[in-house]
Amino acid sequence: MADDQKKKGGFFSDIFAPVGGFGVTFATMFRKVATTEYPEEKRPTAQRFHGRHQLNRHPDGLEKCVGCELCAWACPADAILVEGADNSDATGQRFSPGERYGRVYQINYLRCIFCGLCIEACPTRALTMTNEYELADNNRTDLIFTKEQLLAPLQGGMVPAPHPMVQGMEERDYYQGKVSEATDAQKEWVSEHHVKDTQDATQGAAK
């Protein structure tokens, strides 16, 4: 008798097991979906999110990067390449208030682990991290960002480098916040020299 009861119990459990499974399925079908509809709906990132890097500028447009290469030395993944060069005082063409500037600046996002150690190592606060995180690509070459891609865009009151520093100011004055925007003298210098550079480049290409 005991064996017969076990057989009957096993028989009924085998029959109703699929019904129980479908019951869970049907109950779940009518619940609210918790999936984030990405990329149609994007959740805002945290305030201190570690995203794509940015090379910052001073209020007059000069670059904060002085080509010291400390960020490259601090990078544990060897993802940063920096080549510094000297600013030219003879011609007044300065890219940064310091003696040097970053002539070449590259970040390889195939290697970068977004640890932020490069940000901590930067002595001039030239390198920061934005909230941009969409960096996927189907080409490995396009994931090596150059200086032109990393450099912050020009804001109001800025003029494109190279150009002289604000007259009467030294490098320390820039980092003490004494420069608020480009002066009229800087704007005139840029309009004169950058137009000339554009004309020379056009003539060279025509030849």
User: What string of pLDDT tens digits covers the 207 residues of the chain?
Assistant: 445 555 555 555 666 666 666 777 777 777 777 777 888 888 888 888 999 999 999 999 999 999 999 999 999 999 999 999 999 876 678 999 989 999 999 999 999 999 999 999 999 999 999 999 999 899 999 999 999 999 999 999 999 999 999 999 999 999 999 999 999 999 999 998 875 544 343 344 344
For 203, left (φ over 0), alpha (ψ -120 to 50), or beta? Answer: alpha
Q: Give the pLDDT score at 206.
A: 42
Range 55-182: architecture per CATH: 2-Layer Sandwich (3.30)
Distance CA 130, CA 116 (A): 11
- Which residue, chain included where needed, has tokens 């129980």? 20
Maximum distance among all alpha carbons in the chain?
Answer: 108
Dist. CA 106–CA 183, nearest whole Å: 31
In the β-sheet with 80-86, what is the strand arrangement from edge to edge? Answer: 80-86, 100-108, 144-145
Structure tokens at 89: 């005082």
- Domain extents for the chain? 55-182
> What pLDDT shows up at residue 181?
94
Pairing of strands 80-86, 144-145: unpaired
CB 104 within 8 A of CB 45: no
Neighbours of 76 (CB within 10 A): 10
pLDDT value of position 24: 76
pLDDT tens digits for 75-96? 999 999 999 999 987 667 899 9
Number of other CB atoms surrounding residue 6 within 10 Å:
10
pLDDT at 2: 47
The Cα–Cα gap between 80 and 2 comes to 75
